[in-house]
Structure 1
Amino acid sequence: MYTKLELEQFVKQAKQYARYGKVADYIPALGKANPNDLSIAIYTPDGSVIDAGDTTDKVTLQSISKIIALALVLTDHGEKKVFQKVGMEPTGDPFHSIAKLEEVQPAKPLNPMINAGALAVTHMINGASVEERFWRLLQFVRKLAGNPEISYSKEVAKSEFETAFLNRSLCYFLKQHGIINEDVEELMDLYTKQCAIEMTCVDLARIGLVFAMDGRDPLAGEQIMPPDVARICKTFMVTCGMYNASGEFAIKIGIPAKSGVSGGILASVPGRFGIGIFGPALDDKGNSITGMKLLELLSQTYSLSIF
């Protein structure tokens, strides 16, 4: 089961869908990616890794960082405080939409997986400065992945910071309504660095494994986050993790997962293993088109759906 040869065959099949997608060129640094790249790693509780494709490629987390920041902030502050600032409901709107903020009273973001909600969550990361807060998040990421070498792409962070006009608009709206109360440029500095944290799909799979095992790293024998935090995060991955394609993804694939516009996907099969995928060709919702096909092939072949 899950042999390297099988994975390689799935990668070959899924790659054919790259021509239907396009890379995220609205962030200039991400526009340089090769849409035909595709890699996958599966990390099991005994520490074995099965992979296919070029797993040495590094991918910036982008929106995958939202689920990690949420885990850190929930661990720090608890559910009650966090969900005063951000809701728990899925949305059919695009991830960068401002529309629902105007429609909902009080004007808090519907969930932590859309940009407005993610900005509210990142605002809650503890620390006296952007540097200290980013360091805490980075240390948390390194612990989850079991890799002290993980860092961030200064090029991607700078590219995002210079072009993040819509995210700044969201910040000002949130500030107007008391959801955030810090300097917008400082929050954008922190958020763009958070999104630019980069790693291989093997690292991604290891993080997926920790969520799959209810917040416990089976290799280090350490409970990195409370089981309840891991449960909440996996629930958001199912209901909101694939942007406004989450419902269809739940029906077709049924695995808790979070995507990013770099083409990364972090997936967790509860109690079994973590999956990391990198395929930069995106569909019109912002999800990796080849990565989604790859997960669909895996889920159908091995009956991985949690439903």
Structure 2
Amino acid sequence: MDAPDSSGDLLAHTHRTGTGTLRDLLSELHGRLATMNDGSVATYIPELAKMDADLFAITIVGIDGRVLEVGDAAQLFSLQSMSKPFVFGQALEDHGREHVLGKVNVEPTGEAFNSILLDEQTNRPFNPLVNAGAIATADLIDGRDFPERLTRLLKIFERYTGRTVHFDNSMFYSERATGHRNRAIAHLMRNFGMISDRIDETLDLYFQQCSIQVNCRDLAVMGATLANAGVNPITGEQAIRAEYVKDVLSIMFTCGMYDSAGSWAYGIGLPAKSGVSGGIIAVVPGQFGIGVFSPRIDARGNSARGVAVCRELSQRYGLHVFEAGFRGKTLKEDFEN
């Protein structure tokens, strides 16, 4: 493996060392990892069990809007937990830090993502990226009624992806039919005043946000938007106010990869969020977003191939945010399309 480049500029590194273009690297990486069959498709939501386990895509989007992708990049799938940091960001915009942090904490937890436990001292969910915290932030989506709140929910993700997105109704009903544990979590939080009394409506919002359909390019654009101080690099639209980008990236870094968040932060070192549909969004601040999609997930709910892709990119090019010499430079050379 090549030594990390001290500039943190992935494209410049590939050209200077003669290891080939970034397109060559991603094609090689995709071909090699496509034979990796670790993990299995999630089955606890019936609709997820129908996914083709062999689908696989990698996309990188620079903060200047350039796109490089290999594999099944246009294949649609549901956002699942990858939706959580973006709804957290909207809650911050709507209500401010003080109010939001009064409803949900920002501490990592070694508990499972669907744990029914709350913080013993404050009765808050541990963070916005476990199910309890995500339900609490979904409850904070403003609107006069449910249709308006649902419309606002879609608009959040349309600003990040730069295109019209839709709910997968089959996935929504599948989530809703099997969401008994989430209902228990919601009622427990209502008991402590962490969410409002519109429990069923908020749960439907939460199930709907998890069912939003995206593709691998969308994941990378969403990541690039966060890398670009909240400005979508494709459309130029401000998806989230710059002052709240650090909140979202911080929580992704510490809590984004289920209960392997610590080992991810230590070994890969990028703000990221995974989903049980097989997607991973990773962010190299000031440079680009990485999207990976492969439905085979490991025992902790993360895409096995996705983790392998991000680990190799991070280690080969010194992308860990605490890498000695990392400066977060923007991409200087063109993607080869």
CA distance in 2, matches of 1:147, 1:223: 14
Identity %: 39
> In the alignment, what sits opposite 2:34?
15
Q: Residue by residue, what CA displacement relative to the aligned partner does 1:257-278 show, whole Å, maximum 9, x if unpaired?
A: 0001111111111000011111
Look up the SS of the partner of 2:245 in the other structure.
helix
Describe how 1:1-307 pairs up with structure 2 within 5 A: 1=11, 3-17=22-36, 19-99=37-117, 101=118, 104-148=120-164, 150-307=165-322
Look up the SS of the partner of 2:282 in the other structure.
strand
CA distance in 1, matches of 2:102, 2:319: 34
Q: Residue by residue, what CA displacement relative to the aligned partner does 1:217-240 show, whole Å, maximum 9, x if unpaired?
A: 244334332222111100011000
Deviation of the 1:187 alpha carbon: 1.6
Structure (1 or 2) with the larger CA radius of gyration: 2
Structure 2 residue identity aligned to 1:114: V
Structure 2 residue identity aligned to 1:104: E
Contact preservation (8 Å) 2:223, 2:283: yes
Deviation of the 1:43 alpha carbon: 0.5
Deviation of the 1:144 alpha carbon: 1.3
Contact preservation (8 Å) 1:14, 1:291: no
Look up the SS of the partner of 1:96 in the other structure.
coil
Structure 1 residue identity aligned to 2:190: K
CA distance in 2, matches of 1:182, 1:289: 39
Deviation of the 1:46 alpha carbon: 2.2
Contact preservation (8 Å) 1:130, 1:189: no
Deviation of the 1:157 alpha carbon: 0.5
Moved more, 198-207 or 103-112: 103-112
Q: Residue by residue, what CA displacement relative to the aligned partner does 1:107-140 show, whole Å, maximum 9, x if unpaired?
A: 1101000000000000000012222112102112
CA distance in 2, matches of 1:258, 1:240: 8
Structure 2 residue identity aligned to 1:143: R
Question: Aligned residues, how many?
Answer: 303
CA distance in 2, matches of 1:232, 1:57: 30
CA distance in 2, matches of 1:247, 1:227: 26
The TM-score normalised by the length of structure 2 is: 0.87
CA-atom RMSD in angstroms: 1.3
Q: Residue by residue, what CA displacement relative to the aligned partner does 1:178-232 show, whole Å, maximum 9, x if unpaired?
A: 1112232212211111100011111111111110112122443343322221111
Deviation of the 1:156 alpha carbon: 0.3
Structure 2 residue identity aligned to 1:213: N
Structure 2 residue identity aligned to 1:298: L
CA distance in 2, matches of 1:37, 1:146: 24
Contact preservation (8 Å) 2:159, 2:238: no
CA distance in 2, matches of 1:13, 1:245: 24
CA distance in 2, matches of 1:282, 1:16: 15
Look up the SS of the partner of 2:80 in the other structure.
coil
CA distance in 1, matches of 2:64, 2:226: 15
Contact preservation (8 Å) 1:254, 1:304: yes
Structure 1 residue identity aligned to 2:124: K
Moved more, 78-87 or 138-147: 138-147
Deviation of the 1:289 alpha carbon: 0.8
More helix by share: 1
Look up the SS of the partner of 2:35 in the other structure.
helix
CA distance in 2, matches of 1:41, 1:127: 34
Structure 1 residue identity aligned to 2:200: E
